[in-house]
Amino acid sequence: MRITPVEIPGILVIEPDVFRDSRGLFLETYHQAKYFQSGIREPFVQDNRSRSLKNVIRGLHAQRQQTQGKLIHVIEGEIYDVAVDVRRGLPTFGKWFGIKLSQDNFKQVFIPPGFVHGFAVLSDFAQVEYKCTDFYRPEEEITIRWNDPDIGIDWQIKNPILSDKDRNAPLLNEVMDILPIVKA
């Protein structure tokens, strides 16, 4: 397994070892000790799965108080997964990271607490599974508009399909007072 940090501290790209033979393949999608050694120390308390059609964008979502870290992978299809740093006080505030995750590349991404998260579906459909470090609390959810020009995400799709909540979400600069402050 290879675990690689990216330019935004805390985000890790995981490439598990895939063992193939004439019967098919095998891989570990999670191994607590190995992930812990690589810096993923938060316990996971909830697993989620979503299925979405091509050109759907889900996000950008986070929680205010009980922030969630997420370990994301795709079991069917391909997505462009995005995380935006919303930890006020850090030099990476407002910066985003994107990566293609698919059933073929087996990559995972760990996004620590303090980020909004979303993804765009690149294939005909995609099933995404992710582990969370805290429970989902709808009353805690914040959403930031997917096409905020101050963030400037290249979602790699045209004519996205959006929920009303995501389409009408506030811009990052409109939710500053509810974002976490982190001392650098």
By annotation, the residues acting in catalysis are: 61, 130
Sort 108 into a burial class: Cβ within 10 Å, 0-12 / 13-18 / 19+. Answer: buried
Question: Of 57, 96, 48, 99, which is closest to residue 75 (Cα–Cα)?
Answer: 48
Amino acid 52 reads S
Question: CA angle, corner 164, sides to 62 and 131, nearest 5?
Answer: 30
> Contact, 151 vs 115, CB < 8 A?
no
Amino acid 26 reads F
The CA-to-CA distance between both ends of the chain, in Å, stands at: 30
